[in-house]
Amino acid sequence: GENVEQHPSTLSVQEGDSAVIKCTYSDSASNYFPWYKQELGKRPQLIIDIRSNVGEKKDQRIAVTLNKTAKHFSLHITETQPEDSAVYFCAAEDSGTYKYIFGTGTRLKVLA
Amino acid sequence: GAGVSQSPSNKVTEKGKDVELRCDPISGHTALYWYRQSLGQGLEFLIYFQGNSAPDKSGLPSDRFSAERTGGSVSTLTIQRTQQEDSAVYLCAGAGTSNTGELFFGEGSRLTVL
């Protein structure tokens, strides 16, 4: 089955700087990779996703890149703001099972 | 409903007691997932329901855990003879008919086993 590793576990950046969170996965047949943001005490919510037929996707200040050969994908947040502070989870679909396997999360702190 | 509803939001129980956690997904969402989030940990897959198909129970940590989904809608996660290590937030999520797509999570049920 799929295994997802996520790094770093914590990340502190100055407001306005960029943040990068990286994930690797094990199942080369996986083709869907979402990212979820969980603010303190709230439910996880989808912020961006990417499918295996593209290498990069952007949505305003966030972007996700995918390298299928290396089996890793990354979340990039530019011009970070205090409201970006949260826990971010990457995930990969366990191909053929419709299970979503999540990474262990990255706690991002944006320092004002 | 407008979103995924879970109850209770908080549950404190004594070791050895049974607990039931309820999830009411968004109307029309055929897929339903249960995940467990322990303090500072990621989202651990427990079980997945899709329509009338047999559920994928591969993530249930022991036979003390079971879940059912009645009428393709409401789901109940039952933990028998609770242990302290069962303390966690149990999250329910639903998805539409496309299977590969956004999960809509509930607020979770925080379980504390004393």
Residues of chain A with pLDDT under 50: none
Whether the predicted pLDDT of B71 surpasses 70: yes
Whether the predicted pLDDT of B99 surpasses 60: no
Instruction: Say what the alpha-carbon torsion angle B28, B90, B40, B59 is, to the nearest 10 degrees.
Output: -80
Q: Give the pLDDT of residue B45.
A: 94
Q: Give the pLDDT of residue B39.
A: 79
- Best of A43, A47, A59 to substitute, by most chain B Cβ atoms within 10 angstroms, is A43
Q: Give the pLDDT of residue B27.
A: 86
Asked if B58 lies within 8 A of A42 by C-beta distance, the reply is no
Q: Can you give the C-alpha Rg of chain A in angstroms?
A: 13
Average pLDDT, chain B: 91
Percent of chain B at pLDDT exceeding 70:
95
Whether the predicted pLDDT of B2 surpasses 80: no
Asked if B45 lies within 8 A of A100 by C-beta distance, the reply is yes
- pLDDT band at residue B97 under the 50/70/90 scheme: low
Q: Give the pLDDT of residue B100.
A: 56
Strand (E) positions, chain B? Answer: 5-7, 10-13, 19-24, 31-37, 43-50, 65-69, 75-79, 88-95, 104-105, 109-113
Question: What is the Cα–Cα distance from A93 to B34, expressed in whole angstroms?
Answer: 15
Higher pLDDT, A90 or B28: A90
For B30-34, what is the mean pLDDT? 92
- pLDDT band at residue B65 under the 50/70/90 scheme: very high
Residue B74 at interface with chain A, using a CB cutoff of 8 Å: no
Residue A105 at interface with chain B, using a CB cutoff of 8 Å: yes
Asked if A89 lies within 8 A of B43 by C-beta distance, the reply is yes
Whether the predicted pLDDT of B1 surpasses 70: no
First to last CA, chain B: 33
Q: Provide, for chain A, the percentages of residues in helix, strand and coil under a 3-state DSSP scheme, each rounded to the nearest 5.
A: 5, 60, 40
